[in-house]
Amino acid sequence: MKKSLTLTVAAVAAGLLCGVAIAQNAQPPKAEPNMQKVLDAMATLKPKPIETLSPEEARKQPTPADAVKKLLADAGKSSAPQDGVTMKTMSVQGKGGSFPVHVFTPEGKGPFPVVVYYHGGGFVIADTKVYESSVRALAKGAKAVVVSADYRRAPEHKFPTQTEDAFAAYQWAIAHAKDINGDATRVAVAGESAGGNLATVVSMMARDQKVQMPVHQLLVYPVVNDDMNNESYKKNANAKPLNKPMMAWFFKHYGADPKNPYALPMKATSLKGLPPATVITAEIDPLMTEGKAYADRLQKEGVAVNYKHYTGVTHEFFGMGAVVPKAKEANDFATGELTKAFNAKR
């Protein structure tokens, strides 16, 4: 049964790829000038189309974070991690194996509130290092210990490994909060893209298993649905750095049951009882429509939501605060919302 389901998902993904070819001349919205500089820098790194590669090859491609570093280097500026945050690596035992977590601690006297963070990359590529600027911005801005989980990736580890690892990291952060100078009563979850999916899924798992709930969920352009014919998928079918063929490739390699709400939270029967949420979307992003729809549904089902949409920027902009002012604005908005949630639990 599992084999046939995986084949079905692969076939659907292949069909979606064909649909992309039809719209190959579609132009995404225009990027604002600072964002365009990042896209131009990315182009000079000559990344190959992810959807044409194996997962191993895709993981070796230049990333938007590399483009930011190039821009900084070309301007004679340092790309070293910002001061005020230290990092140490620890290990968490998940089902069937362990995985690393990277603990980022701000300056000052704890115990600090805790954010469990999940990186993006379609469940297949990337790691904490690629998203480190986001993690450090959250640690410094929210004055929180951020536990960034390098969950095991697909296709080597199929769904539900990623959700199980994400939940294990969350439970570990609560159990070991004292060991990392954290406050176990003030633990939030956060993530970008696939990581936004994992953050809200962890909230669902905590609710369903009657585990301590996160005090807040920060969802930055989360993957929550598989409708690849919605408005933003049509507008951004050929956008960079994320487009429709890449999403089909990610879904294919993730291999999840598309009806499972722990794979796609919009498929959940109910979102009631989830923690208050901050949802951020970007205009030049296939995931924009579903992110807004998820925020709307959370609110409709009684979850407090603060939603903000940023125009002229792309998927992955959140970690570009060093070169894109709107990213810094989004960081400040996100950390402000986390701080409010932590202060409410004092």
Cite the active site residues. Answer: 193, 285, 315
Strands in 119-207 per DSSP E: 145-149, 182-192
As a whole number of angstroms, the distance between CA 104 and CA 114 comes to 10
Cα separations (Å) of 112 from 64, 100, 187, 265, 321?
A: 30, 21, 10, 30, 23
**With contact defined as beta carbons under 8 Å apart, do 114 and 341 qualify?**
no
Query: Residue 4: enclosing H or E segment and its boundaries?
Result: helix 2-22
Structure tokens at 18: 């064909």
Contacts for 105 with CB less than 8 Å, ≥ 6 apart: 85, 86, 87, 88, 112, 139, 145, 180, 181
Cα 166 off chain centre by: 12
Query: Which residues are CB-contacts of 219 (< 8 A; sequence separation ≥ 6)?
Result: 190, 191, 196, 199, 200, 277, 278, 279, 280, 291, 294
Which tokens sit at 328? 């810094």
Q: 104, exposed or middle or buried, with CB in 10 Å at 0-12, 13-18, 19+?
A: buried
